Amino acid sequence: MADEILCQVKEGIAVVTMNRPESANALSRSLMIGLRETLNKLEMDDSIKVIILTGSGEKAFCAGIDIKEREKMTQEEVLRSRSLHVMPLFRDIEEMTKPLIAAVNGPALGGGAELALACDIRIASENASFGLIEIRWGIIPPCGSCHRLPRIVGSGKAKELILTGRIIDAKEAERIGIYNQVVPYGKLFDTTQKLAEEINKNSLVAVRQAKRAMNVGANLHMAMAFDYEASKECYFVRDTEGPGLKGKE
């Protein structure tokens, strides 16, 4: 588990890296546990003012839930994992008082797209596509994106992206506001680091309170709880007409 999460800290800025490049940094149970533990420690550390979240390698920021691991699980194990690992991770991220910047180093798909949206700011490399593709598998985004995405891009565009499961490239994601900035891969870390340093210069209390003030009206706790329950309704329904399920028996 320790090798799946890397953490470097320098002058009040922590860089957290999901380190499963061979699996496109997919969210296995161990990675989610490690990520949650790491972020909670950083949240409690008063010397840390800004956190950068990224993935290892150029293949992906995060490809979402680890499908290979999921396919080996029973229905009860899937529900237990969602209850014990998936939802607590996203709740903890939502409750963080410190700014969380996503350095999106590659495609962010499914749960990976939800992870990027849960961050406060997203800086992406040119190869960083974006897609909430859950609808293709007969489910919905369960971790708050049905509410986060409309706040970012507007209701109509959010419905278009979620109901089609369409994957868009980095430039399109930047144009509609999902990615704050798109840069060449080689400049991603420097650009994100400079932004973190700019935030780091300001008062920790003021930064926390500004983030809190912007988030206070969102009521994401109730929204995420609804998403979770709504996704359970369709999670085990066999819909062979969905593009992600054709041919599955």
Is pLDDT above 80 for 237? no
Residue 177: burial class (beta carbons within 10 Å; 0-12, 13-18, 19+): middle
Write the CB contacts of 57 (distance below 8 Å, at least 6 apart in sequence).
Answer: 21, 25, 105, 106
Is the separation of the CB atoms in 117 and 150 below 8 Å?
no
Instruction: State the pLDDT at residue 240.
Output: 47
**For the residues 167-181, what does the mean pLDDT come to?**
98
At residue 75, the pLDDT reads 83
Sequence length of the chain is: 249
- In tens, the pLDDT along 43-73 reads 999 999 999 999 999 899 999 999 898 889 8
Q: From the candidates 43, 76, 134, 198, which is the catalytic residue? A: 134
- CA dist 188 and 86 (Å) reads 27
Q: What is the pLDDT of residue 233?
A: 67
Dist. CA 44–CA 217, nearest whole Å: 24
Query: Active-site residue among 114, 160, 174, 198?
Result: 114
Global pTM exceeds 0.95: no
Residue 75 or 130, more confident: 130
Domain made up of 2-188: CATH architecture: Alpha-Beta Complex (3.90)
58 is catalytic: no
Say what percent of the chain tops pLDDT 90: 71
State mean pLDDT over 155-178.
98
| 242 has pLDDT over 70 | no
Is it the case that residue 241 has pLDDT exceeding 60? no
- How confident is the model over 103-160, as pLDDT tens digits? 999 999 999 999 999 999 999 999 999 999 999 988 899 888 999 999 999 999 999 9
pLDDT band, very low/low/confident/very high, at 7 (cuts 50, 70, 90): very high
Per-residue model confidence (pLDDT) at position 247: 42
Please state, in angstroms and rounded to a whole number, the distance separating the CA atoms of residues 191 and 232.
39
> What integer pLDDT is reported at residue 236 of this predicted model?
62
The answer, yes or no, to whether residue 88 has pLDDT greater than 50, is yes
Q: How many CA atoms, within 13 angstroms, populate the side-chain half-sphere of residue 47?
A: 5
**How would residue 83 be classed by pLDDT, with cut points 50, 70 and 90?**
confident
**Segment 24-44 mean pLDDT:** 96
Structure tokens at 214: 């912007």
**Segments in 119-154 forming alpha helices (H):** 145-153
- Give the mean model confidence (pLDDT) for residues 180-185: 98
- 215 has pLDDT over 90: no
pLDDT at 194: 98
Inter-residue contact 171 to 182 (CB < 8 Å): yes
- Sign of the torsion angle spanned by Cα atoms 149, 153, 157, 161: negative
The C-alpha R_g of the chain, in whole angstroms, comes to 17
Tens-digit pLDDT profile for residues 190-206: 999 999 999 999 998 99
